Amino acid sequence: MKERIQKYIAKCGIASRRKAEELVLQGKVKVNGRLIKEIVSVDTESDIVEVDGKVIKPEEKKVYIMLNKPTGYITSVMDQFGRKTVIDLVDVKERIFPIGRLDYDTSGLLLLTNDGDIANKLMHPSREVDKVYIAEVEGVPTKEEMNQFKRG
């Protein structure tokens, strides 16, 4: 079965589709021993794909975790500054990643998985999956602060 390389890399739990495209463009991906630097299709049954010199394959066992993320953790797999990540909160052998984002100072429901397909279906803007956030703030925001918040 043919599949675009970034989708295959995401299915293997290595990176999101967008990050997978970056890996390809950075020259970190090989297909059947040949370095690729553009998006190609791979045969999921017979092609051998490597990322950073390691052969990758789709995860056999899919993992889905609902996590009540506490404050003081970042929503990431790794952090360049050594801060605690949501991955530090779970103990699974599979390589998982968070779906979506919650800020360092926020808490709430976060999904973690090794299933790139479901992650893409939940996060991609074209799917229009609604997300609800409830925020508590100190004091009463001014009209200008509310307008600034609405503008991003």
Hey, which residues are catalytic here? 103
Can you name the residues that pair with 98 across neighbouring β-strands? 112
Q: Which residues contact 6 (CB under 8 A, 6 or more apart)?
A: 17, 18, 20, 21, 24, 39
Q: Which residues contact 117 (CB under 8 A, 6 or more apart)?
A: 10, 11
Residue with tokens 């675009």, as numbered in its chain: 4
Q: Are 119 and 16 in contact (CB under 8 A)?
A: yes
Tokens of 147: 């307008």
> Three-state DSSP class for 44?
coil
